Amino acid sequence: MDILTLDDFDLKGKTVLLRVDLNVPIDHDTKEILGEYRIEEAAITIKALNSAKIVVISHQGRVGRKDFVGMNNHAKVLEKYCGKKVKYVQDVIGASAIEEIKNMNDDDIIMLDNLRLCAEENYEFSLEDSAKTIMVKRLAGLFDLFVLDSFPSAHRTHPSLVGFAQVLPTCAGKLIEKEVMQLQKILDVAKGPYTIVLGGSKVGDRLMAIKKLIDNKRADHILLTGIIANVFMRAQGRIKFPLNIKREDEHVANAHALIGEHPDIFSTPVDVAVNNNGSRTEIDVRDLQNDDEIFDVGQKTIEHYGKTISGSGTVFISGPAGYFEKDDFKTGTKALLEYVANSMATTIVSGGHLTTALKKYELSDKVDHISTAGGALVRYIAGEELPMIKSLEESAIKYRSK
Ligand code: 3PG
């Protein structure tokens, strides 16, 4: 991969637009930040940008979800890790954001508000069309350099991720350099059996990547938890009532086709923990009722998955097994992470929520690679060409000799 890095540019006196991914777990009630790992990593790139004028941009959550909040708390946490003032500007592409950027001095850092407050950022564009968006047209002219360091969203084509790279010299930040280098090293020597443990809630992303993982011989066993497990159990006919999730019929049909093509690869839970007025009750999947809320996997499932993890050559785990933020439902997430940490396999733990859990349970030192990315990493391991990497490569071709 040939991409430009910060070392290729003289940053002195430059105004730099830095796209990071500070999409972190948020407490649904208090709106507090629950995991700071991605913010901590972003600070490393900011420090490497020295005395440039730095404008930090990121999304947080998705519109309409409980983790869709502004970036004021993120700016405070970033300030802590940078050891420098980070000014939060409550605007994205409006007059006050533009005014603030124009008035910056060397060494200033500002953070604009949640990019997804801007309508365009909620759509994916072709690389060419992303450069024509109002966001890119309004902001690009204010900057000398675009630093792309948003590895967790490397699989997306929102304007802030691929648009600026079409019109500004663009290089990778420290996080992308680190992730790509370490992952390549791991994948070069990785050996089977390959076990993929997938949880979390982003079903569409997961389904797309699973097929690629299997086709590219990166998945001998796929152990499912979370909402993606429910979709597969529905496809197997083991959950008999609707899940009430978006695009349910399409997801269930895709899961059904995957199970049909690869009947031996997938494992789904045999038992689950349901929410019993805030406490944990474990039941067999066969006994699930229409109004049961599944908040975790059960003990038998944990043991079964644990055995497979322990016998693997490489384990990749992404997405929590349950609602681990609630004490009664952390059992599955914690136990599976412990199996991963204690296995002899090469291990990669990925995603905002799971890396937060890994730190909470003090297991970080026992895995080979902790990635800030979730869905993007699944696709990277599956061998997909990620639009962000493509943008970086194209920019290197355009600007390397200049
Ligand atoms: C992630 O956490 O996977 C990235 O921030 C991308 O978020 P998205 O799936 O909402 O685009």
Domains of the chain in start order, with CATH, are 6-176+385-401 (3.40.50.1260), 190-371 (3.40.50.1260)
Q: How far apart are CA 278 and CA 266, in angstroms?
A: 30
Which of 202, 203, 386 to probe ligand 1 with, by most ligand atoms within 8 A of CB? 202
Closest alpha carbon to 194 in 163, 217, 175: 217
Backbone angles phi, psi at 172, to 5 degrees: -80, 150
Q: How far apart are CA 343 and CA 364, in angstroms?
A: 14
Per-residue pLDDT in tens (0 to 9) along the chain, 402 residues: 899 999 999 999 999 999 999 999 999 899 999 989 999 999 999 999 988 999 999 999 999 999 999 999 999 999 999 999 999 999 999 999 999 999 999 999 999 999 999 999 999 999 999 999 999 999 999 999 999 999 999 999 999 999 999 999 999 999 999 999 999 999 898 999 999 999 988 898 889 889 989 999 999 999 999 999 999 999 999 999 999 999 999 999 999 999 999 999 999 999 999 999 999 999 999 999 999 999 999 999 999 999 999 999 999 999 999 999 899 999 999 999 999 999 999 999 998 889 889 999 999 999 999 999 988 998 999 888 999 999 999 999 998 865
Phi-psi region of 201 (alpha: psi -120 to 50; beta: other; left: phi over 0): alpha
Beta bridge partners of 278: none
Peptide bond into 193 cis (omega under 30): yes
Tell how far the Cα of 337 is from the centroid of ligand 1, in angstroms: 22
Please give the single-letter amino acid code of residue 115: L
pLDDT value for 51: 85
Phi-psi region of 195 (alpha: psi -120 to 50; beta: other; left: phi over 0): beta
Tell how far the Cα of 62 is from the centroid of ligand 1, in angstroms: 8
Closest alpha carbon to 113 in 152, 147, 160, 149: 160
Question: Does residue 226 contact residue 273 with C-beta atoms inside 8 Å?
Answer: no
Which of 60, 68, 153, 206 to probe ligand 1 with, by most ligand atoms within 8 A of CB? 153
Tell how far the Cα of 152 is from the centroid of ligand 1, in angstroms: 7
Length of the chain: 402
Beta bridge partners of 223: 197, 267
Q: How far apart are CA 258 and CA 354, in angstroms?
A: 25
List all residues whose CB is within 6 A of at least one atom of ligand 1.
21, 23, 62, 152-153, 156, 202, 352, 374-375
Q: How far apart are CA 335 and CA 178, in angstroms?
A: 28
The structure tokens listed for 172 are 């990778």
Tell how far the Cα of 153 is from the centroid of ligand 1, in angstroms: 6
How much helix, strand and coil, in percent to the nearest 5, is found in the chain?
A: 45, 15, 40
Question: Does residue 274 contact residue 288 with C-beta atoms inside 8 Å?
Answer: yes
